[in-house]
Amino acid sequence: MPRQPPGTPPRERREGSARVRGRDDGKRLGAAELGGELGERATLVQFSSAFCAPCRATRRVLGEVAAMVPGVAHVEIDAEARLDLVRELGILKTPTVLILDADGGVVRRAAGQPRKADVIAALGEAL
- DSSP-based three-state secondary structure for 85: helix
Is pLDDT above 60 for 34? yes
| pLDDT, tens digit, 9 for 90 and up, residues 62-79 | 999 999 999 999 999 999
Report, as an integer, the average pLDDT of 92-102. Answer: 96
What is the reported pLDDT for 21? 54
The pTM for the full model equals: 0.80
What is the reported pLDDT for 124? 87
Burial of 51 (0-12, 13-18, 19+ CB in 10 A): exposed
Report which residue type is found at 65.
V
Report, as an integer, the average pLDDT of 15-22. Answer: 48
Report, as an integer, the average pLDDT of 41-70. Answer: 96
Percent of the chain at pLDDT above 90? Answer: 72
Report, as an integer, the average pLDDT of 74-90. Answer: 96
Evaluate whether 74 touches 44 at the Cβ level (below 8 Å).
yes
Helix (H), strand (E), coil (C) string for 3-61: CCCCCCCCCCCCCCCCEEECCCCCCECCHHHHCCCCCCCEEEEEEECCCCHHHHHHHHH
Q: Cα–Cα distances in Å, from 64 out to 40, 71, 83, 116?
A: 17, 13, 27, 8
Is pLDDT above 60 for 12? no
